[in-house]
Structure 1
Amino acid sequence: MFNSRKQKRILVVRTDRVGDVCYITPALRELRRTFPDSYIATLTNPNTSNLIKNNPNVDAIIIDNLAKDKFWKVVKELRKHRFTHALLMQPTERAAYQLFFAGIPYRVGIGRKFYEVITFMHSVSRNKFIPLRHEADYCMDMARKIGVTTNNIKLEIFLSDEERKEAKDFFAKRDVSESDLKVFFHFGSLGSAPHWNEEKYFSLVQKFCSTFSDKPYKIILTAKEMSPEFRLKIAQLYNTRIHDISNELYDLRDLIKYTSQADLFFAPSTGPLHIADALNIKCVGLYCHRYASRPQIHGILNDRSIHLEVSEEYCNKNCSADKEKCAIQTGLSEEDVLEAFQKLLLIK
């Protein structure tokens, strides 16, 4: 299959969303542990490359902006690294052809897509998601294909000491101290997962302020997709303990840096939630019972967090049969979130 004595030069490919790229970080760690002398690189899009920055398990970060006219430029770049192995973590036709034309001898993909067959790609099956496992575990299957043996799928993101200092200074300038209870709310998912409407999110903020009025809390809002109307309603609460920093996040690395300072983090199942998970922050995640959105496949993996999932009974009664109509709006309450926060505050 391959010469285990020759240095492995491994490319891990995932060019889709933020949360999905978080899911490859366990495989990067376990590849390094299994093959300590190997050369390991990633191929991501420009935005998600920020998730790999400072990762000690990675020797090189290669970027594909997915533009049609940059296809061959990426192929040329891949050739320079003389990869022996490539792991295509998500079926992607563009990347499959790039790996083929880059001349990488041992390439692994998922399933048997036509473009995988005609490029002679080795295959890992997800067995129609039976039994249902976490996406990070499915990604790890690709690493297992070339010799990794592990069940450790803990996510991880790495920050430099300088970045952590920058984050502390950022909040200190906004009168947010290290002793404050810093509660991050990310209201939105950019269409990647079911979530509440802004009216309910606003109600959650109000109820949080009332419930935790005796705590030295600071609320941090991070979602760029918050509407101007929602921002105005928040501003009209005239609560100096609420800070909207969404317009001060100039790239994904800023979100990562500032999230590292959170004590609690709330979001629907979306990229920022998985960033907080990878930073080992206490999280409360909002989940639909819909098969592709459940915690079993996209849940928080650190053991300091809580999944809030619409019950199967409620989903069967109130969601459409094809699950396109989701009842997450009424299937979970603001009180569910506040109760979860109370439980997490008891965890050291």
Structure 2
Amino acid sequence: MTAAGWQQAKRILCIRLDYMGDVLMSTPAIRALKQSFPGSEITLLTSSSGAAVASFIPEIDDVIVYAAPWLKSSAEHQPDADMEMIGMLARRRFDAAVIFTVYSQNPLPAAMLCYFAGIPLRLAHCRENPYSLLSDWVRETEPQEQVRHEVRRQLDLVAAVGARTDDERMSLRVPSAAAARVVDRLQSMGIDAAATWIAMHPGATAASRRYPPQHWREVARALRATLDCPIVFTGSAEEASLIDDIRVGLPGTHSLAGQLDLGQLAALIALAPVLVSNNTGPAHIAAAVGTPVVDLYALTNPQHTPWKVPSRVLFRDVPCRYCYKSVCPQGHNLCLTGVTPSETVKAALDLLRGLEPEAEARMPPMRPA
């Protein structure tokens, strides 16, 4: 390791080419870089989804959008863009680059990009010896020897070059204008933002991470019967019909599907007494802004549970866990559909009442016992 050289780094490129939640889970490590190397400027190289949330992260000074051809977010990638990106990075004259990946991703394509751009310090987890592609590398030990939370994984990575922080919470700053707009929207629906109400997010990009609509309906009906409080559904415009179907016959529920930009969604979640969500971006937003969250957690991977926030993580253990698939290979989604509406209701009520969990949520081991 060349930790001494990192102390002089002023222009640092952080590479996180995945989605919004992945960027949020990298923010504690980015904060560690910012605090440990005084005067440094952080530029994030990310996907268009990651860039959408970057403007709300105070530790990030600049953003570059890149559809990397080695990730599934690169559907619109053009080969010439790679050479153009190398040229852009070279002109920016970065002192260092940190490549954040999950353990199933290969960091070497991004490392080569930085190598060709002449970035002298390049850090990543790596499974094989990268030789000159990385100046600093941490041996990949996952999943054979351990499996860490995604946030801890990235904190451990930057710690290898001397970057640490006492504040390991995720980072997201809610714009004041967005918060005021959301308070107005809630008032227009007859909801007092300071009273008891519940936010629900029934969508997810991957079919394997979607709690069944009929379960959502039962959860909303039971919470309404128990608390007689408003329920506000969030989602994209494409998810509006899903939410409308869930809300059939449920007075006191409201839909803001397709009506909030990302800043307003973050503001709504920050104001909510509790969020019930599939394991998707809004669950990570809740963790970043400190809102208690019921996370309906499909066991597609073990690393993305809510970080440092009151939470209930609900799942059913299955032999086919940790498949990393967007569509259930078995066709049953039992790791998620097996969670009953009554369990979800109890979890939400516990969080609203401030009850401590009976035991810490533990993810099942990587392989069936």
Normalised to the residue count of structure 2, the TM-score between the two structures is: 0.80
Q: Tell me: CA distance 1:218–1:76, structure 2 relative to 1, closer, same or farther (3 Å).
A: farther
Distance in 2 of aligned mates of 1:199 and 1:45: 33
The equivalent residue for 2:234 is 222
The one-letter code matched in structure 1 to 2:190 is D
Deviating more after overlay: 118-127 vs 257-266: 118-127
Q: Tell me: CA distance 1:345–1:122, structure 2 relative to 1, closer, same or farther (3 Å).
A: same
Answer yes or no: is 1:123 the counterpart of 2:123: no
Q: Is 1:181–1:263's contact at 8 Å kept on the other side of the alignment?
A: yes
| Equivalent of 2:352 in 324, 340, 345 | 345
The equivalent residue for 1:287 is 297
| Equivalent of 1:72 in 83, 106, 111 | 83
Q: Is 2:213–2:246's contact at 8 Å kept on the other side of the alignment?
A: no
| Residues 282-321 of structure 1: pairs in structure 2 closer than 5 A | 282-288=292-298, 290=299, 293-294=301-302, 297-310=303-316, 312=317, 315-316=318-319
Shift of 1:329: 4.2
> Which ranges of structure 2 fall in alignment gaps of 5 or more residues?
69-76, 356-369
1:284-323 CA distance string (max 9 Å, x none): 11124x4x523xx21111232222232x4xx24xx58979
| Residues 171-182 of structure 1: pairs in structure 2 closer than 5 A | 171-182=186-197
1:36-94 CA distance string (max 9 Å, x none): 22222211122322322143322222222443243333333323332111111023565
Q: Secondary structure at the match of 1:33?
A: helix
Distance in 1 of aligned mates of 2:336 and 2:315: 11
Q: Secondary structure at the match of 1:24?
A: helix
The one-letter code matched in structure 2 to 1:172 is Q
> Which ranges of structure 1 fall in alignment gaps of 5 or more residues?
none
Q: Secondary structure at the match of 2:122?
A: strand
1:94-153 CA distance string (max 9 Å, x none): 533332222111111222469x55734532233123322101111122211221235753
Normalised to the residue count of structure 1, the TM-score between the two structures is: 0.84
| Residues 156-195 of structure 1: pairs in structure 2 closer than 5 A | 156-191=171-206, 194-195=209-210
| Residues 262-277 of structure 1: pairs in structure 2 closer than 5 A | 262-277=272-287
Q: Is 1:50–1:252's contact at 8 Å kept on the other side of the alignment?
A: yes
What percentage of aligned pairs have identical amino acids?
Answer: 23
1:206-259 CA distance string (max 9 Å, x none): 22222222xxx221111235373x4443453251x211111213x433422332
| Equivalent of 1:48 in 50, 54, 61 | 50
Distance in 2 of aligned mates of 1:321 and 1:102: 36
Q: What is the aligned-residue RMSD (CA, Å)?
A: 2.8
Distance in 1 of aligned mates of 2:202 and 2:163: 37
The one-letter code matched in structure 1 to 2:258 is N
Q: Is 2:301–2:321's contact at 8 Å kept on the other side of the alignment?
A: no
Shift of 1:277: 0.9
Distance in 1 of aligned mates of 2:60 and 2:123: 19
Q: Tell me: CA distance 1:4–1:49, structure 2 relative to 1, closer, same or farther (3 Å).
A: closer
Q: Secondary structure at the match of 2:197?
A: strand
Distance in 2 of aligned mates of 1:27 and 1:45: 18
